[in-house]
Homo-oligomer: A and B are copies of this chain.
Amino acid sequence: MATRTDVNTLGEFGLIDRLTAPFQLRQPSSLLGIGDDAAIIDTGGHEHLVVSTDMLVEGIHFDFAYTPLKHLGYKAVAVNVSDICAMNARPQQITVSIALSNRFSVEALEELYAGIQAACEAYGVDLVGGDTTSSTKGLIISVTAIGRAPASRITRRSGAKAGDLICITGHLGSAYLGLQLLEREKQIYLANPGTQPEMKPENKDLYAAILRPEARTDMVDLFAKNDIVPTAMIDISDGLASELMHICKASQVGAILEEANVPIRPEAQLQALEFNLDPITCALSGGEDYELLFTIDPKDLEKIRFLPDIYIAGEIVPTADGIKLHTVGGNIHDLKAQGWSHFG
Contact = CB atoms under 8 A, between A and B. Distances in A.
A19 B51 CA distance: 24
Total copies of this chain within the assembly: 2
A97 B128 contact: no
B133 A57 contact: yes
Interface in A1-35: 2-10, 12, 15-16, 18-20, 22-27, 29-30, 32-34
Contact of A34 (B7, B29, B130): B130
Interface string A92-108: 11010111101011110
B57 A93 contact: no
Most B C-beta atoms less than 10 A away, residue of A15, A18, A27, A33: A27
Interface residues of A, number: 85
Contact of A126 (B18, B26, B138): B26
Given A19-B113, A39-B93, A146-B41, A129 B51 contact: yes
A134 interface: yes
A2 to B, nearest CB: 6
Chain A contact residues: helix, strand, loop or mixed: mixed
Interface of A: 2-10, 12, 15-16, 18-20, 22-27, 29-30, 32-34, 38-39, 41, 43-47, 49, 51-55, 57-61, 92-93, 95, 97-100, 102, 104-107, 109-110, 113-114, 117, 120, 124-138, 140, 142, 144, 146, 148, 342-343
The 5 closest A-B pairs by CB, nearest first: A39-B128, A43-B43, A142-B142, A5-B106, A44-B45
